[in-house]
Structure 1
C-alpha cells in the first residue's frame, strides 16, 4: 500500500503553512552557538584517547550484545555506576540509554495509581511523556513558583484522596535557561513529605556536578536525573537515588528492561569525561564557560539588549523574537554570517514566544560573542 493517510498529510501541510516544518539537515561548518556540547568535550582528542585506553583495559566487544538484563550488562557498567554514585554522592546510580529513556522510564513506573505528580509548567517533553504513561494524576504548577505549588497542594489535601505526592522540576530549563530556587523547593518537599525529583540535564558540567550537589541537597532529593549528551560530550543518562529506587527501576522501568544496552564505547566515554571533570583540565573548561556566560551578559547590557533577552546565568541564552517567520529569518542571517544559531518555533514554544536559543561553550571566544550580539542588535 503506497498511499499516505490523508489526515497525516493535512498535518504536514499545516506545519508548512505555519512555517514550523521540521527537517533533518546536514551539519554545517559554522561557529557553534547551537549545540549542547557546553564544555567542548565531544570534540577533544584527549577524551577520545582516554576513552580508548579504558576500552583496551576493560572490553573486547564493540556492541552491547543485548539488554542489560540479558547479555548487555558488561563490566564497564558496574565500574561507571560505582564511580557516578561516589562522584555525585548518592547511594546508587542506574544508567539509561538517554535522558528521554530515563524520564519516561521513571515517571511511567514510579508514581502509582492514587499518587499525584506536580510538575513545573515548562518541564521537558520527556517528563510529560512519562507522566502520560503513568497511572497517577498530574497537575502543573506555575513556572518556578513555590507559592503556587504550595497552594495547589493545600487544596489537594483538603479534598482529594491520595497516597504519595511527587514534585518534579529542572535545575536549568532547556527553553528559557533559567533555574528554580531548588533549595526552597527541596525544603518545602521535605517539610511536607513529598518526593522531590530534579532533572539536571543542562546543569551537569555547566555548574560542576549540578545544582543539587552544589547546594548539598542529595539527602532531600528522591531522584536526580543526569544526562551525558550535553556537557559530558557523550550519550546516555543516569538516575541517582537510593538503593531501593535502583532495584525498583531495574524491575519495572520498561525503557531499561526492553532495550539493548549502551555499547562499551559509550560507557567508557562517560567515565573518561567524568574523570576529566575532577582534574585541572576539566575544571579550567568549566571556568572558561563561566567567564563566557558572564561576558555574554555584560555585552547584552552594554549593547542595550536586555529587553530582548531573558535573564539567565546558565549556558542557555534566549532572545525573544516573536513570530516563526521573523525568528527564522534572523537565524538565517546569523548562519549566513557564519554562526550556527537555531530558531525555536511555535508550537515547540507558545505562539508569540518564538526565540533564538543561543548555547554558550567553553571554546567560544569573546570576539565571537560580541559579533553575534551586534548582528542581533542590527537585524533583530
Structure 2
C-alpha cells in the first residue's frame, strides 16, 4: 500500500470533478486522426482535432518522415548542445525562420516547452510581464517559472493594457517589461489586436511576445498572425507549434539571431532534453514545403470553417466572437456541455466538451475544429446532428 493521504486526496478530488461535470474522459482512436475517426468500432465525424490542414496524415510527409528515419535513425541520441544537433534540425530551423520572416529560429520538443523556455530565459525576478487574461496555460506556466511580476490585463482590452503598461513603467520597479499574448485564442477563435499591442509596446518600450500556435498555417496565408498584420519586423518573439497546422510534433521560437543564440545557451528544455526525432524534423520540413508551394489547404480550411460557422449560427447556437475556423458552441453549464458532447458522440459526431479550468466557469462549450480535410458532406452530416441533438436538449428552437 502507498500513502493513505495521497489515496484520500486522489479519490476525493476525482469524485468532486465527476460530480461537477469537470472530469474529462479520454477516448482512444483506432487508426489515423483524420476528418473521420474510429473509436471502439464507431465511425465519427471528427471536429475536435487541431490538425487544421489535414497534414498529420499527408502522404508526402509520411514519406519524408520515413526517409529521415532510414537516414538518421529513430532518435537524435543526445541533447542539442552535446551532439544531438543533426543537420536535419538545422535545415528545419532555417526553413522555419524563412517561413516566419525572421533572422533565425530554434526548434523545441513541444509548443509548451517553447513557452517554458523562452519566457524564463529572458525575464527574471526584477522584470514584469503584461499577460492577456485568456492566454494559454503554457504561457501562464512560463511566466510563473520566470519569477517576473505577472500583471494580467483584461482580454483584448487595449485601454487596460495601456494603463497597466504606463503604471508599470512609471513605478520604476522593473528592469524589462514584456507584453505577451496568444495570436489566436484557441477556445474562442478570436485574434489578438497586434497592431494596437505593437503601438503600445513602442510607446513604453515593451518586449513583444506572440504565441501563434493556432495562427500559424491558418492566418497570413499560412505564415501566421504576425505576418497577417505585416508586423514580422516589429514582434520580438514569435512562438509556434509544429503539432497543429503543421501536423507533427514540436515547437519553435522565431526572432532575431541574437535572441535565438541566447535561447540556445539559456533555454532549459533545449539544454536538458533530447532533441526532436529525425522523422519529426523531416516531416515538418515537408509540411513547410507544402505550405509555401500553395495556399490550397489554407483556403479550403477557411471555406470549411466559414461554412460550419454560418450553419451553426443559423441554427441558433451561440458561437461567440470567433474570427477564425475555430467555432465554439457555448453552452454555459459544464454538465450540460458534457451531456451535449456525449449525445453528439452517440449520433456519430466527435466534438469534445471544454470545461473549467480550460475555459472560465460558466462558459463551458463544445468546440469545433473544422479542417481542410473535411468534405462538405461530412460537415452537413455533423450540422444535421447538431440540429437534432440541440433541439432535443432544448439548446436551440
TM-score normalised by structure 1 residue count = 0.94
- Aligned-partner SS, 2:116: helix
Distance of 1:23 and 1:356 partners within structure 2: 14
Q: What's the RMSD between the two structures over aligned residues?
A: 1.7
Match of 2:243 among 212, 229, 232: 229
Equivalent position SS for 1:30: strand
Summarize deviations over 1:309-329 as a string: whole Å, max 9, x none: 112131211111122221111
Deviations 1:41-86 (A, max 9, x none): 1112232123334555xx3322111111112111101111112112
Deviation readout 1:88-145 (Å, 9 max, x if unpaired): 2101100000000000111222112221100100000011111111121111101111
- Unmatched segments (≥5 aa) in structure 1: none
Give the structure 2 partner of residue 124 of structure 1: 136
Counterparts of residues 78-93 of structure 1 (less than 5 Å): 78-93=90-105
**Partner of residue 20, structure 2:** 18
> Residue 125 of structure 2 corresponds to which residue in structure 1?
113
The normalised TM-score by structure 2 is 0.90
Equivalence map 1:57-206=2 (5 Å): 59-206=71-218
Cα distance in 1 for residues equivalent to 2:150 and 2:188: 23
Aligned to 1:328: 338
Which residue pairs with 1:318 in the alignment? 328
Deviation at 1:22, TM superposition (A): 2.8
Cα distance between partner residues in 2 of 1:213 and 1:52: 32
Query: 1 CA distance for matches of 2:202 and 2:63?
Result: 44
Greater mean alpha carbon deviation, residues 366-375 or residues 140-149:
366-375
1:297 is displaced (CA, Å) by 2.9
Q: Choose the corresponding residue for 1:347, options 357, 362, 367.
A: 357
Match in the other structure for 2:45: 31
Shift of 1:331: 0.5
Equivalent position of 1:243 in the other structure: 257
Alpha-carbon displacement from aligned partner over 1:171-197 (angstroms, at most 9, x marks no partner): 110111111221221222123211110
SS of 2:23's partner is: coil
Contact 1:187 1:220 (C-alpha < 8 Å) held by counterparts: no
Q: Unaligned regions of 5+ residues in structure 2, if any? A: 30-38
**1:42 aligned partner:** 56
In 2 relative to 1, CA 213–54 (structure 1 residues): closer, same or farther, beyond 3 Å?
farther
1:140-172 deviation per Cα after TM superposition (whole angstroms, max 9, x unaligned): 101111111001122223334211110011111
Count of aligned pairs between the two proteins:
374
Deviates more, 1:290-299 or 1:162-171: 290-299
Distance 1:84 1:230 in 2: 15
